[in-house]
Amino acid sequence: MSKNEELFQRAQLHMPGGVNSPVRAFRSVGGVPRFFTRASGSKVWDADGQAYIDYVGSWGPMILGHAHPQVIEAVQRVAAQGLSFGAPTEGEVVLADLLAQLIPSLEMVRLTSSGTEATMSALRLARGFTGRDRIVKFAGCYHGHGDSLLVKAGSGALTFGEPDSAGIPDCLAALTLVLDYNDTAQLQETFARLGDEIAAVIVEPVVGNMNLIAPDIGFLQTLREVCTRHGAVLIFDEVMTGFRVALGGAQALYGITPDLSTFGKVIGGGMPMGAFGGRRDMMQMLAPLGPVYQAGTLSGNPVAVAAGLATLQLIQAPGFYERLTVTTQQLVQGLMRAAKAHGLNFSAQAVGGMFGVYARAEIPRNLAEVMACDRTSFNRFFHAMLDEGFYFAPSAFEAGFVSAAHDIADIGATVAAAERVFAGLAQT
């Protein structure tokens, strides 16, 4: 029995499914999850000592690559001074200033310990600000596991074919309107009927939780226009896209200014961290200034702040995003060439440092098209690439991530392996 198998057996005794987050369990793709012991640059090593070129990157945060020396040094330096105080620190102020500088829509910001906390808090704030109850989200978009948001959610929920979670009161779920991503006509019709009852629209501007889905031209602009017209709060969930698709996030890439935004992943540099912020008049509704309550014992944790600050400083280097975008495009173009050479129905696309691989001839635009992908073929691709030493997301409903540590040799090796894998798939 391998060490991975032994650990998975032990894990299932006291941890539901043997994991602390569902998609890690490999239930979608089958097999035994890998238990990692260390990571460096573009690579991770599992409990059996097997090395993999990593395209998960802790689900997005490791934009610099794993264990970047300057990030590690910052964490070690601050950790030696104390792990948590439950009181303000200068680092929180510096990070808030930097976030406001890099994301102009953040006139004020509050730190949290996770992206889920950030989205839950942003929605509560939007409801408190507008005095309305209804919210709009899009099928397949995942915004954390808050009760109002686990209605046709993406990512791990889709992995098990159960988009709705048990334990959500019907009366609360009824306040969440679920629309189709990229359907501007449906969006406009919904606001024409119910616009005066809608507190907020929350959206992944580039979806990463039903695989990577890019917005159609005009979709985000229509969102901005209908929210403005009807007095609803537009919330961009940039937990995944923030500092991943561009230095200023998706809102900078597409030129749309949301009222509120949520962040996570990259801003913590690999440590637990989230944030939400936006218009000053809205943020001043938060306690202790206003009536909307939100708190967190470990919010602004000094060690997480140190990791986030070091990461955000490094990604501002000239040409960083241009190089990251080129590397990611080289990966998806190579994968598509390899699949096409063997006549397989695979497609791929990238936005910034995020990418999607689909067992489908055409790139999907919404949840229905994602669900039409051939998941059996994807699972075979996943396991064959894993055997070759390449770690892709263990689900057909997850985006992939490239880091600055991935070099031309990594990409070349990945494409060469994909050519062998696709050749094998074409013969079966």
Environment class of 155 (CB within 10 Å of its CB; exposed 0-12, middle 13-18, buried 19+): buried
DSSP state, 196? G
Alpha helices in 131-254 (DSSP H): 156-159, 170-173, 184-194, 219-230, 249-254
142, 181, 321, 391: the active-site residue: 142
User: Does the annotation mark 265 as catalytic?
Assistant: yes
What residues contact 104, with CB distance under 8 A and at least 6 apart? 248, 257
Pairing type for strands 176-179 and 134-138 reads parallel
46, 183, 237, 410: the active-site residue: 237
Give residue 400's region: left, alpha or beta (phi > 0; psi -120 to 50).
beta
What residues contact 142, with CB distance under 8 A and at least 6 apart? 149, 153, 154, 155, 156, 157, 204, 209, 210
Tokens of 391: 């770690």
Cβ atoms of 355 and 400 within 8 Å: the answer is: yes
In angstroms, what CA-CA distances link 53 with 32, 75, 349, 388, 409? Answer: 18, 25, 19, 10, 11
265, 358, 391, 410: the active-site residue: 265
How many alpha carbons lie under 13 Å from residue 357 in its C-beta half-sphere?
32
DSSP state, 263? E
What is the signed CA dihedral for 258, 259, 260, 263, rounded to 10 degrees?
20
User: Does the annotation mark 340 as catalytic?
Assistant: no
Question: Which residue type sits at 182?
Answer: N
What is the signed CA dihedral for 261, 322, 417, 49, rounded to 10 degrees?
-70
313 by DSSP, 3-state: which?
A: helix
User: Does the annotation mark 137 as catalytic?
Assistant: no
Rounded Cα gap, residues 187 and 334, in angstroms:
36
- Angle formed by the axes of helices 320-341 and 408-426, nearest 10°: 20
Rounded Cα gap, residues 346 and 425, in angstroms:
11
Q: Pick from 236, 201, 239, 212: which is nearest to 350 by CA?
A: 212
Paired strand residues for 176: 135
Active site members: 142, 237, 265
